[in-house]
Amino acid sequence: MDRKLRRLLGKIAVLIALVVGALFAGLPVLWMLSSSFKLNTDIFAYPPQLIPPNPTLEAYTAIFTDPVKVRFFLNSYFISLSVTVLTLLVAVLAAYALSRFEFPFKRVLNVVIISVQAVPPITLLIPYFGLIMFLGLYNTYPGLILTYMVFTLPYAIIMMTGYFNTLPRELDEAVKVDGGSSWTALWRVLVPISVPGLVSVGIYTFMIAWNEYLFALTLTKTPEMRTVPIGIQLLMGQHSYEWNQMMSMSILGCIPILLLFLFFQRYFIGGMTAGAVKN
């Protein structure tokens, strides 16, 4: 077969597969988007209609005109950003130690870091709640931020350790030869070339903090401290749901994350990578 023709056929096959995949991934979200512009009752119309028969911005105005709900968003941004930055900071230090040093109990520490995530959060809820009260962190930002850091650190450490392991050791040796400390080697050499890894771990961390519900609810109590997932859950009443507002709230919630993703993706897709550095 002609090389050009084969390429074209391959291209068509990939495009078809991409479209099928996009339907799988995107259709439910499209339905959510359409529902957010519907009246509650139209969401349940049969046959279902993708184009809202009575399009309305009611659900969106209900959110924007309610300062309490806007505050949910601000809280979520602030908490998630803080968690991301602090997790990366702490995880980089730990990953550096695990990647570049040999020391007693390293393996034990690894096992602990991996398996602490294995306890069902729901059983931790009550002792954890007591602990946070004891530490005076109940209904505060640090309470939630530190909690989420504990949830995200294991993953961040494991991934960053793996990432550092791929970076050639000669890099930090060079710093040492120049008289620099391991601290300098970490921050001057390793971290700057690890930006793709940091971004990838950071996005994941952000997501966890952004979407967490159970602890956010338990560790806060005033409306000024609540986050978006609680806001969504508050729309699920005892007797009825505000379907369209729930949909619009999650659409609004996902737009900034999507922008963040779009902005940062160049770093870890086709950007500077460990492989490139090595060559």
Partner 1 sequence: MSTTSLPVTGADSLGSPEPRSGKPAARLADARRALVPYGYLTPTMVLLVVLMVIPIVMVIGYSLMDNVIMKKNPQFVGFKHYIDILTSESFWTAVTNTLFFTGVSVIAHLLIGLAFAMMLNTGLIGTRTKAIFRTIYVLPWLFTVAIIAVLWRLLLEPNGVVNFLLTASHLTGTEVEWLSSPETALFAVTFINIWAGYPFYMTSLLAGLQGIPADYYEAAQVDGANAWQRFTAITIPQLKPIIISMALLDFIWTTQQFALIWMTTGGGPLGTTEMLSTFTYKLAFSKYQFGTASASAVIVLVISMVLAFFYVRAQKARD
Partner 2 sequence: MRKKYLAGIAAMAAAALAMTGCTGGGTAPSASNEGPVTLEFAQWWEPELPANSLRSLMDKFESENPGIKVKLISGPYASTKEQVVAGAAAGTMSDVVGLDGAWVNDFVKQGSLANLTDLMKSANFDESQLAAQVKLDGSTWMIPVANFVYPMFVNDDLLKKAGVAAVPTNRTEFAAAAAAVTKTGKNTSGWVLPLDTATPNGIQNDVMSWVWASGGSMLKDGKPYLVGNTEVKDTMTFIKGMYDAGSIAKGSFTMKEQDKVNEFTNGRVGMMIDSLAHVNLIREENKDLKFSVAAIPSADGYSGKRGMPYASWGIGVANNSKHQAEAFKLVSFLMGKDVNATLCNSAHAFPGNTQAVPDFVNSDPIFKQAFEIYQAGTATNEFTGLPVAEDLMRSFDEQFQKYLAGKQSADDALAASQSAWEKAFSG
Those residues whose C-beta lies under 8 Å from the C-beta of residue 137, and which sit 6 or more positions away, are 143, 146, 219
Q: Residue 243 Cβ, how far from partner 1 at the closest point, in Å?
A: 8
CA angle 270, 273, 279 (to 5 degrees): 115
Those residues whose C-beta lies under 8 Å from the C-beta of residue 278, and which sit 6 or more positions away, are 168
Stretch near partner 1 under the rule CB under 8 A, chosen from 51-59, 61-69, 218-226, 227-235: 227-235
Give the one residue of 201, 209, 225, 252 binding partner 1; rule: CB under 8 A: 201
| Count of residues that bind partner 1 according to CB under 8 A | 116
- Distance between CA atoms of 82 and 75, rounded to whole angstroms? 11
85 binds, among partner 2, partner 1, none (CB under 5 to 8 A by kind): partner 2
Stretch near partner 1 under the rule CB under 8 A, chosen from 52-60, 61-69, 77-85, 209-217: 209-217
- The 197-226 site mask, x for binding partner 2 (CB under 8 A), equals --------------------xx-xxxxxx-
Q: Residue 67 Cβ, how far from partner 1 at the closest point, in Å?
A: 21
Stretch near partner 1 under the rule CB under 8 A, chosen from 52-60, 61-69, 77-85, 164-172: 164-172
18 binds, among partner 2, partner 1, none (CB under 5 to 8 A by kind): partner 1
Instruction: Find out whether 43 and 243 touch, Cβ atoms under 8 Å.
Output: yes
Instruction: Please compute Rg for the chain using Cα positions.
Output: 23
- Distance between CA atoms of 200 and 163, rounded to whole angstroms? 11
Quote the distance between the C-alpha of residue 38 and its chain's center: 29
253 binds, among partner 1, partner 2, none (CB under 5 to 8 A by kind): partner 1
57 binds, among partner 1, partner 2, none (CB under 5 to 8 A by kind): none
DSSP-assigned letter for residue 116:
G
Q: Residue 228 Cβ, how far from partner 2 at the closest point, in Å?
A: 13
Instruction: Find out whether 176 and 113 touch, Cβ atoms under 8 Å.
Output: no
- Distance between CA atoms of 150 and 112, rounded to whole angstroms? 13
Q: Which is nearer to partner 1, 52 or 196 (CB)?
A: 196
- The 65-94 site mask, x for binding partner 1 (CB under 8 A), equals -------------------------xx-xx
Q: Does 7 bind partner 1 (CB under 8 A)?
A: yes
User: Which has the closest alpha carbon to 222: 233, 214, 232, 230?
Assistant: 230
Q: Does 159 bind partner 2 (CB under 8 A)?
A: no
Torsion of CA 265, 268, 270, 274, to 10 degrees: 170
CA angle 145, 148, 149 (to 5 degrees): 85
Place of tokens 């109590």: 221
Q: Which amino acid is at 151?
A: F
220 binds, among partner 1, partner 2, none (CB under 5 to 8 A by kind): partner 2
Q: Which is nearer to partner 2, 127 or 275 (CB)?
A: 127
Residues of this chain that interact with partner 2 (CB under 8 A) are: 39-41, 44-46, 78, 81-82, 85-86, 88-89, 125-126, 129-130, 133, 138-142, 145, 187-188, 191-192, 217-218, 220-225, 230, 233-241
